[in-house]
Structure 1
Amino acid sequence: MLNSKVSKAVRLAIAFGAASTAAFSANTFAAEGEEKVERIEVTGSAIKRTDLEGALPLDVIDASAIAKSGVTSVPDLIANLPAMQGFTAAGESVGGGGGGVQTASLRNLGSEYTLVLLNGRRMVSSDSGGTIDLNSIPLSAIKRVEILKDGASALYGSDAIAGVVNFILKDDVQNTTISARYDKPKDTSSSNFSITTGFGDLSVDGFNITAAYSRDEQDNLRSVDRDFAKTGFISFEHSGQDLLAVAGSSSAIPGNAYV
């Protein structure tokens, strides 16, 4: 009787140990085979989630991609995006009386419906319509750009009907970076100079101060500097008659007249 109880207890102990070993091996294998997924913050959502969980069309342009693109300003970077349509270009703004203000417009819905954020926060408008001047953002200080190509008015408001462009600035700059560029196409020239510096380690000192300066300069190119644009009066012949076409511009104030 006693031997039977002892042998039964031994068998239960052996079975329990084998089950524990199998469970431990399974957990160890699952832990080793588990893939780590980095969690990121996605523009357009107030809930932190992984990139695998998001369903909104989001494009992210990091600093290395910006450097490879060869652009020298934020408006030039925005102009290269396929989703940007109907934005205000430099020539249109200066020649059209826009005062040099360059804006962003997703899918040609208008700059007043494209929300521009800086580190996830709203920027000061350049006019009463709520448009943001992209020239006020230094390209050298940008860490990455997040473009949400879907309406986000439910989260941000009516100015995000077309989408959101979020500029994330560098937050831990400890070196000084200087860049310069000079272009000399025919009849004009342009130059760009930028410097970015900072001090303070966030992980050690608990603070970081970053300063960025950028200067863009482009020579004036007048219409009279080119033969095909010297005058708005174009002579041509049609059906044996000498005609004159007036290629005027509504933006030419005051207008120029040649006799």
Structure 2
Amino acid sequence: MVQNQLERKKPLLRKVYTSKKRLSKKKEDFEGPHSLHGPLELPSTGQNIGVNEIAESQREPSLVVPFVKNSCLWSAVEEMNVFKEFPQQPHFLPLQQEYPRTLQGGMAFGLMVAFDLFVRSISKSSIADNEGSFEEEKSTLSALKINGFDVQCFERLLDELIKVKFEYSKHLEEKSAVQRQKQQTMNSLSQNDSLLCEIDNDIAELEKKLGLLRQKGQLIEKEKEHDEEKLSRLNVVESNIEQALDVHTLQFNGILAEVKQKRLT
């Protein structure tokens, strides 16, 4: 931990201005039998050492990069605030094997700018960003890391962000599913409300008809009572008439009986 803090306080990206002879010598060292992407053999011990080990060795004060920083913009990019907040000593060793010498400085410059853009981008990232943007940031970190940038803290940060983003996306999908179910339920409630309203209207219509029928029944009931009373009176009248008829019949028969009796005498 103490060693890392000391390393962060060392000068950033020392400019290297060498003669053609020294450039030629470095070219032999970097492009010769020691491949930057394969293991290097230490002359004194015969021990193999990889790119990562070379990167650590290049974090010394005598940092050497495989190109000449002859652009006037290098001093400006090295003075960016991001390199004060996060000191870097990239070695840019893979560039020697991937690009010709004339392009190495420009590619390295681009990586320096890419680091600044990465820090700006990650600081402005939002949980609403799509997963692809975080994967792109991981690819950027990978490219920076193999060129000697110290990005461990950003790797941990990005892993945590991706983890939280994954959980957020999962719960966002669950929320969408719940909202769809809510919408379906609300649609069902609305449909049932409409059906109940129709049924209530039908019931009201039936109750109205039932009220009219009851009124009609009451009128008929009154007419029935009136007819019953009238029938009762007519029965009395009829009974009186029948009695009168019986009396008249008796009277008539009595008269006939008197006539017959006189004729016989």
TM bucket normalised to smaller: under 0.3
Q: Which has the larger radius of gyration?
A: 2
Q: Report the structure, 1 or 2, having the larger strand content.
A: 1
TM-score by length of 2: 0.22
Higher RCO (CA-CA < 8 Å; seq separation 6+): 2
TM-score by length of 1: 0.23
Q: Report the structure, 1 or 2, having the larger helix content.
A: 2
